[in-house]
Structure 1
Amino acid sequence: MKRLSVCCALFALPVIANAQSSVTLYGVLDEGLMYTSNVAGGKKVSLDSLSGLFGSRWGFTGVEDLGGNLQAIFTLESGVNLNNGQFGQGGTAFGRQAFVGLKSAQFGSLTFGRQYDMVFYFPEPLTAGSLVGGPVGMHPGDVDNAANTVRLNNAVRYMSPVRGGFSFGGEYSLGGVAGNFTANSGYSVGAGYSGGPLKVGAAFEYFKNPTATPGNGFFTAYANGASPLAYSLNKAYVPAQAYQVAIVAANYAVGAATFAASYSNVQYANLGAAFHNGTAIFNNVDVGVSYQFTPAFTTGIAYDYLTSNGVTTASGTTVGKQHYHQVSLVSDYLLSKRTDVYVGAGWQHASGTSSLGTPAVANIDNLGDSSNHQQLLFRLGMRHRF
């Protein structure tokens, strides 16, 4: 009888383990027909699944109960291009997230891997651009990473539990350079509050050598080494030895309406001899409102203004003194809890001189420089979540 009891207990162990752990498959499929009025001198019509309300993705998330209110957690999440089956994020297999760690309801979570920054967790969801959603609401050039263009490689992240509506987090990205502990490294900190109709979030981020060796720098954290500093707005600032952003955002709900606003200050510092080691500074402000007409139908509108101070070159000319005005509108209709259809429109106007010293041109969602100072973007999309 004792031997039988032991055998039964051994056979029961996997069942008990499975009852205390779980793995969930999830994803978003967001496909849209897009029209851009002016890209490289011509109109463009395309199918796109990476720039919707939520870029298309799939992933696994898991949790195991370790006892004592402690859990092991992990997430593997990949962007996916529905139109050709390729990975998103520059071909990075799990380019959105890939981390493992520990979580406690009392003490918070500590995770390790490729992760979102504190801009994503605190101010980003509260910006007017996020309130409206989609590519038409992204801040020009995504200079403040408020549209989640860049993730952090080699990151150690702590997230606090929520206490009295307050929470905070911090993250450090290891550079991984032998003999130089701080090279290519950076950090991100953030905090937020949610209480009643008010939500507030703020974050600060700093990185050294942000465009370092492909795959290692902040802006080059993709498998193909591509950098979002690819267009005239900030292309000349690739030599920057440091990058920092400070951003604050807030939402306030009044009945069926939600108001949003954000401000960010972005600096590309130590630009090298070609710019007298100067600093290019961007300031971005957005405001917007979303109104839920019915439980299924919501419309949002936002306005964004980006300005840059300009930088003096070695030849004595000033470049990068530019201004961007952008208006975006998105309407979304839920067909079910998992499926919705939406339509979005954005208009952008640029003026001044680009970082390259040429006339500033429009470029919505970093989809391509216009051949002049204006650009229109329309998107008709469908989204399914599983």
Structure 2
Amino acid sequence: MKTKKKEIIVGSLVGLASSLAHSQSSVMLYGEIDNGLHYQTNVGGGKAIYMDSLDGIDGSRWGLIGKEDLGGGFKAIFTLESGINVNNGQFAQGGTAFGRQAFVGLSSDAYGSLTAGRQYDMVWYFPEFLAGSAAVGDLPGGHPGDLDNVGNSVRFNNSVRYMSPDFHGFSFGAEYSLGGIPGDFTSTSGYSIGAGYTHGPLQIGAAFDYFKHPTSTPGSGWFTAYASGFNLLANSLNSAYQVAQAYQDAVVAATYTIGNAAISASYSNVQYANLGLSFRNGTAVFNNYDIGLSYRITPAFSVGVMYDYMNARGVTTAQGNIVGNQHYNQAAFLVDYLLSKRTDVYFSGGWQRASGTSSTGAPAVADIGGSGDSSNNHQMIYRLAIRHKF
């Protein structure tokens, strides 16, 4: 679900430079506060009840979108967007100040846009909101470990991105993240491409991400693009694959709307390649399938359900053992009620069961949406929350 953006004149924003307060320039202030009570089983061998504002349907954030008319159909644009941990006042995204987005560039209705900074990948722009998991939201509908980034765990740092205009329902985009270390300019670099098509009730989206040497120092690389050093390879699902020399992710999703109902589905293929001598230079492969259904019962009341299945092809260690042959089954639901156009309350829940052997060689454990290792192979998460958009 996309956040609603409220456009206001620059002069009404106290503290903004007066040089921006022209009739051709504007800033859009927007945001969302999504805070709720989480109940989670099998955390450290027990149950956990805690407040959470990060793992809701969209995740709490605030941002500014600015534009200036340059003439000839061109505009200068920028976006600054920060995740918020409402319960302690800290930044989200591993403590990164503008961890969601921070970029500047040029746009044209005729030619598209070219921007540079910290940006979403093409998975976010094209297939993410069409996947079955979108019928429920982030947690508890997140794919196991969020390996395919459909839960939007990571962004591209130091990136240049082009987004096309709409061509009769078809659009596309491409993005390149500059890396480089002394002697190897392409190290820690990556790219993302994607496309989407809308025709009547049908929407289709696809994207492909690739990163070379995805594990690096804090603040760079694909898995470590957080200032705090937060690492998306921290859990047993994929933690042994930190030695991977390349990461790639292909996602395709589609939604078909029938009256008040929408059926969604997605498929993703994730690969950790060139795992080195410890894994005989093998490749770990994950395949994820999901399907979801959302239905608006009344203008204010809607429900959603989803089912997800992921399997992983095992890899052979230098000692001849096969690890990583994992299987995950997951189901989730959402009940949402609008109190107004900008405020809603919702209740969601999910269950996951894992089987097989994790990347570390130990028995596989549950990991809903990258929330962390369960203390055994199954887990439940429930969330009761209020959400306000501005």
TM-score, shorter chain, exceeding 0.5: yes
2:341 is aligned with 1:313: no
SS in 2 for 1:238: helix
SS in 2 for 1:135: coil
| 1:75-96 superposed Cα distances (whole Å, 9 cap, x missing partner) | 0011110111000001100000
| 1:261-308 superposed Cα distances (whole Å, 9 cap, x missing partner) | 000110000111110111000000001110000111110000000000
Structure-2 residue corresponding to 1:19: 23
Equivalent residues in 2 for 1:119-158 (5 A)?
Answer: 119-158=123-162
Q: Is the 8 A contact 1:233 1:360 kept in 2?
A: yes
Equivalent residues in 2 for 1:193-204 (5 A)?
Answer: 193-204=197-208
Compute the displacement of 1:180 (Å): 2.0
Compute the displacement of 1:62 (Å): 0.3
- Which has the larger Rg? 1
Structure-1 residue corresponding to 2:98: 94
- 2:75 and 2:187 map into 1 onto residues whose CA distance is 33
Equivalent residues in 2 for 1:1-386 (5 A)?
Answer: 18-386=22-390
Q: Is the 8 A contact 1:322 1:351 kept in 2?
A: yes
Compute the displacement of 1:176 (Å): 3.8
| 1:92-150 superposed Cα distances (whole Å, 9 cap, x missing partner) | 00000000000000000000000000000001110011122130111100010011000
Structure-2 residue corresponding to 1:4: none
| TM-score, L = length of structure 2 | 0.94
Compute the displacement of 1:15 (Å): 9.2
- 1:88 and 1:31 map into 2 onto residues whose CA distance is 13
Matched positions, count: 373
Structure-1 residue corresponding to 2:13: none
Change in 2 beyond 3 A, CA 1:17/1:271: same
What amino acid does structure 1 have at the position aligned with 2:53? S
- Calculate the aligned-residue CA RMSD, in Å: 1.2
Q: Is the 8 A contact 2:56 2:139 kept in 1?
A: yes
What amino acid does structure 1 have at the position aligned with 2:171? S
Name structure 1 gaps, 5 residues minimum.
Answer: 1-13
Q: Is the 8 A contact 1:134 1:344 kept in 2?
A: no
Q: Is the 8 A contact 2:138 2:151 kept in 1?
A: no
Q: State percent identity of aligned pairs.
A: 65
Q: Is the 8 A contact 1:212 1:220 kept in 2?
A: yes
Change in 2 beyond 3 A, CA 1:73/1:308: same
Compute the displacement of 1:312 (Å): 0.4
SS in 1 for 2:91: coil
Q: Is the 8 A contact 1:330 1:344 kept in 2?
A: yes
SS in 1 for 2:352: strand
Range 356-365 or range 99-108, more displaced: 356-365
Name structure 2 gaps, 5 residues minimum.
Answer: 1-17
SS in 1 for 2:227: coil
SS in 2 for 1:119: helix
What amino acid does structure 1 have at the position aligned with 2:49? V
Change in 2 beyond 3 A, CA 1:16/1:128: closer
- 1:82 and 1:15 map into 2 onto residues whose CA distance is 33
SS in 1 for 2:347: strand
Range 124-133 or range 281-290, more displaced: 124-133
| TM-score, L = length of structure 1 | 0.95
SS in 1 for 2:252: strand
Structure-1 residue corresponding to 2:8: none
- 1:301 and 1:234 map into 2 onto residues whose CA distance is 27
- 1:144 and 1:16 map into 2 onto residues whose CA distance is 40
| 1:162-198 superposed Cα distances (whole Å, 9 cap, x missing partner) | 1110000000000042432211000000000011000
What amino acid does structure 2 have at the position aligned with 1:81? N
| 1:192-217 superposed Cα distances (whole Å, 9 cap, x missing partner) | 00110000000111000101122111
What amino acid does structure 2 have at the position aligned with 1:161? P
Q: Is the 8 A contact 1:274 1:314 kept in 2?
A: yes
Q: Is the 8 A contact 1:40 1:368 kept in 2?
A: no
